[in-house]
Amino acid sequence: MRINVPIGEAAQTRVRDDVSYRNNPMILVGLGEVLFDFFESGTATLGGAPLNVAVHMHQLASALAVGQGVVVSRVGNDLPGEDILRSLAARHMATQYLQLDHEHATGRVSVS
């Protein structure tokens, strides 16, 4: 899920030199579903449009040093839910905006 976006040197300098971002970093939010896509081949991929947007916003905001992307959602208190938390932590993303649901499983989608 990594995208490298070329950013001009002038834009990088302008953003880094803008003190307002350092004093008040942006929090860019993806609000909604976080789930696993299960393919017929047996592979599973982390998914959900809000999660994908949050991950890419986080990558860009981090590269520009202007803030962070976060996902606000709810996952099951199960192994897939734990995998999601580990995956976000591995990307240096905040996990405190994800609630654990003790009654419902983490979402799954069958992709054919």
Q: What distance in Å separates the CA atoms of residue 56 and residue 69, rounded to the nearest whole number? A: 8
Q: State the DSSP code for 32.
A: S
Could you please state the CATH topology (level 3) that the domain comprising 28-111 is classified under. UDP-N-acetylmuramoyl-L-alanine:D-glutamate ligase (3.40.1190)
The pLDDT > 90 percentage for the chain reads 74
Listed in sequence order, the residues at least 6 apart from 63 whose beta carbon sits closer than 8 Å to its beta carbon are 5, 7
Please say whether the beta carbons of 85 and 75 come within 8 A: yes
The pLDDT value recorded for residue 2 is 47
Q: What distance in Å separates the CA atoms of residue 73 and residue 55, rounded to the nearest whole number? A: 13
Q: HSE of 21 in the Cβ direction (CA atoms, 13 Å)?
A: 17
Q: What distance in Å separates the CA atoms of residue 87 and residue 94, rounded to the nearest whole number? A: 11
Instruction: Find the mean pLDDT for residues 84-96.
Output: 95
Which tens digits make up the pLDDT trace of 33-61?
A: 999 999 999 999 999 999 999 999 999 99
